[in-house]
Amino acid sequence: MNIRYFAWVREKVGIEEETIELPSNVKTVSDLIAHLKDLDDYHASAFEEEDAIRVALDQEHVEPDTELGAAREVAFFPPMTGG
């Protein structure tokens, strides 16, 4: 699955995007966050304040309990500050 990061989440992870193989026990967005946190200190730091992170699945907003299903792209980012 392709994973993209934006704004301070991107800066903390240290990369804009990456592709990872999902372990079979990763079903939901929350599962994926738990998996990413265990990868290394950079991911752990980016997801430290988990409640502050917003998620999009195939470029649409979703909640953390959403199943990843057949989605190709997931994005993690802070609350938006456009306008």
Q: Does 79 bind other proteins (CB under 8 A)?
A: yes
Q: Does 6 bind other proteins (CB under 8 A)?
A: yes
- Look up tokens 């939901």; give the residue: 28
Q: Does 59 bind other proteins (CB under 8 A)?
A: yes
Question: What are the helix (H) ranges across the chain?
Answer: 7-13, 29-37, 41-46
For residue 4, give the nearest of 52, 67, 38, 54 by alpha carbon: 54
- Which residue in the set 17, 40, 60, 63 belongs to the binding site for other proteins (CB under 8 A)? 60
CB of 44 or CB of 56, closer to other proteins: 56
For residue 43, give the nearest of 51, 31, 35 by alpha carbon: 35
CB of 23 or CB of 83, closer to other proteins: 83
**Interface residue list for other proteins (CB under 8 A):** 4, 6-8, 56, 59-61, 75, 77-83
